Amino acid sequence: MRHPDPQWSRCGLYPSTGLTEPMPRRFSRIAFVASPTPEAREAAEALMRRYDHVPPEEADVVVALGGDGLMLQVLHRFMNDPKPIYGMNRGTVGFLMNEFREDALLERLEATKRSTIHPMTMVATDTEGRSHTARAINEVYMLRQTHQTAKLKVSVDDHVRLPELIADGILAATPAGSTAYNLSVGGPILPLNAQLMALTPISAFRPRRWRGALLPNHARVRIDVIDATYRPVAAVADHTEFRRVCTVETWLDHATSLVLLHDPGHSLEERILREQFG
């Protein structure tokens, strides 16, 4: 009897022979995407020399080389055709990234743990009556455009919860984004699997003691700008900005699932948990 090819001798058993057969790899087509910094470009070139790769549109996993900014860009790029993203840190912060190493990439990919996140949808209407739609991985926020503080009315699921908030602005964050801008303005850190979203004021003047709210992740938030002409406000979804808005509605898009891959012991859920303990 002919012996099977040696490459079939790693992972499983032939039912009739007792000989081993391979288990298919989770990821067979890898693409590399890098930020424009020299460190990221050099890392991408080294990996592309070492590993077979395809264009990002043909890949079943994307390896992103850079920092958290690049990770957000890649997630947005594939929002309508989600692909698992494995980031390696060639940037500065790298909260969403894995440690960079050239060796054993295929084995690292096979061992990764998945973190699934959902983006937020924002629909903003400006003072000219135009409607703008954008999506955010981290947060949707509104911010005053001039020295005049913003005056905002906050509604949740068509119920007015705050008739007037006088502040620099307000922010709605996903669990994945709760450690970003939300945390820096005093908002809570949310576990990744929490069925919640954070609503956090930015430098609130009145009501002075309002520190924000935790909302169920199916809530629909509407913010109306009071006197949008005299007190102009901008609306931002991650890095997409619209100016002189008068209303903003935002909610979590549960129909879109984005997958981040992390090395064992360094999942996004674990990182968010560690962040709560400094």
Known binding-site residues for NAD(+) equal 68-69, 138-139, 168, 176, 179-184
CA nearest to 77, candidates 127, 33, 16, 19: 33
The one catalytic residue among 52, 68, 157, 224:
68
Half-sphere exposure of 197 (CA within 13 A, CB side): 28
Residues that constitute the known binding site = 68-69, 138-139, 168, 176, 179-184
Contact 120, 135 (CB under 8 A): yes
Q: Catalytic site residue 126?
A: no
Distance CA 198, CA 185 (A): 12
Tell me the two tokens of residue 88. 């390696």
**DSSP for residue 257:** -
Contact 75, 137 (CB under 8 A): yes
Q: Where are the beta strands (DSSP E) in the chain?
A: 12-13, 20-21, 30-34, 61-66, 85-89, 113-117, 120-126, 131-136, 139-144, 150-156, 159-173, 196-206, 213-216, 221-225, 233-237, 240-242, 245-252, 258-262
Catalytic residues: 68
